[in-house]
Structure 1
Amino acid sequence: MSLGDILETEIQGEIARIRADGQARADQIVAQAQERARTMVDSRQRALQSDYAAGLTRARSAADLDANAQRLSAGDTLQVQAFQAAEQTLQEVTTVAEYPQILARLIDEGLQALPSAQVVEAASAEHAAVHQALAQLGRSLDVRVNEQVKTGVRLVGEGGKTSVQNTLLGRLNAGRADLSAQVSRLLAEQ
């Protein structure tokens, strides 16, 4: 073997070793890059899953708020309708045969609060019932027209300085807050 062959064999060996070292180094670099890429992908996936979960939670919360708002709106609408129906029914009570007895109670309660009453005011459509109620009570008071007083009476004291109003619609309005709570509770139970 000649010196050239020996040198070539050593050079080939050195080249093979350098290639092997280079390949090992390249494999190591590729493995590290792949590990970093996997770590980045995993981290990004976790971040996306977290963002997705947070977005889903926000969407559910928004949907719950919207549903609650719609329920409240529907409840408010139903409550308004309930009070309108109650007012309509109370206005229709003025046409039933028992209305003079109802007026008698309203007048009697008014007289307990204002015993010196001299005048009873009521809507003109209710005057016949007012006269019947006064007859039931054995009382004689002047009856005057006041179209603002419906579904009941307004008793006026001597000289017109004091008065007491006692109407069915007035009672409904006075109890509206308490009734609203009860209506809301009933609507929530359904």
Structure 2
Amino acid sequence: MSLAEILEQEVQGEITAIQQQAAQKAAEIVAQAQERAQSMIESRTRLLASEKAAALTRARSAADLDGNAQQLNAANTLQSRAFVQAEGQLKAIPQHPEYPQILARLIQEAHAALPSADAIEANPAEVDAVRQATQTLGLPLEVRPNSSVATGVRLVGAGGKTSVQNTLIGRLQAGRETLSAQVSRLLNE
């Protein structure tokens, strides 16, 4: 073998070794780049998943708040309607045949609270029924019309300084808070 062939073989061997080293180095660089890229993809995927979960949580919370607000609004509307209907039915009670007994009971309760009463006031449409009830109960009270009194009576003490009002609508209003809680519970069930 000639010197030129030997040199050529050595040069060829070095070229092959350099090519192998370059290929190995390139493979390492590509592997590192792929590893970094995969890490970036995984990190970005986790970040997006976290953002998506947070957005879903916010959306659910907003939907829950909106749903609760709508439910509360509907409950308030239904409750208001229920009280309006109840008041309407109470205003119609004076037309019922059993109203004189109810009126007598209201007068008895008011008189028990203000036994020194010297007058009783009632809605002008109910004055006759009140007179009958006071006669039946044996109460010598002056009966006076008062258009601000409805579905019951107002007993007035001597000199008009004290009074006790006992009406069905007044009872509804006085019990509204307790009744509201019961109506809410019924609506939620």
Give the TM-score of the pair, scaled to structure 2: 0.94
What is the Cα deviation at residue 170 of structure 1?
0.8
Letter matched to residue 66 of structure 2: D
Measure, in 2, the Cα distance between the counterparts of 1:11 and 1:121: 128
Aligned to 1:169, the other structure's residue is in SS state helix
Aligned to 1:46, the other structure's residue is in SS state helix
1:98 partnered with 2:98:
yes
Corresponding pairs, count: 189
1:70 partnered with 2:67:
no
Measure, in 1, the Cα distance between the counterparts of 2:156 and 2:97: 26
Which residue number corresponds to residue 24 of structure 1?
A: 24
Q: Deviations over 1:30-80 (max 9, x none)?
A: 011101111111111112112212221221222122212211111111111
Q: How does 1:1-190 map to 2 (within 5 A)?
A: 1-189=1-189
Measure, in 1, the Cα distance between the counterparts of 2:104 and 2:136: 7
Aligned to 2:105, the other structure's residue is in SS state helix
C-alpha RMSD of the superposition: 1.3
Aligned to 1:150, the other structure's residue is in SS state coil
Measure, in 1, the Cα distance between the counterparts of 2:78 and 2:159: 44
> What 5-or-longer segments of structure 2 have no aligned partner?
none
Give me the identity figure in percent. Answer: 62
Aligned to 1:94, the other structure's residue is in SS state helix
Letter matched to residue 169 of structure 1: I
Q: Deviations over 1:5-32 (max 9, x none)?
A: 3222222221111111011100110011
Runs of 4+ aligned structure 1 residues displaced above 4 Å come to none
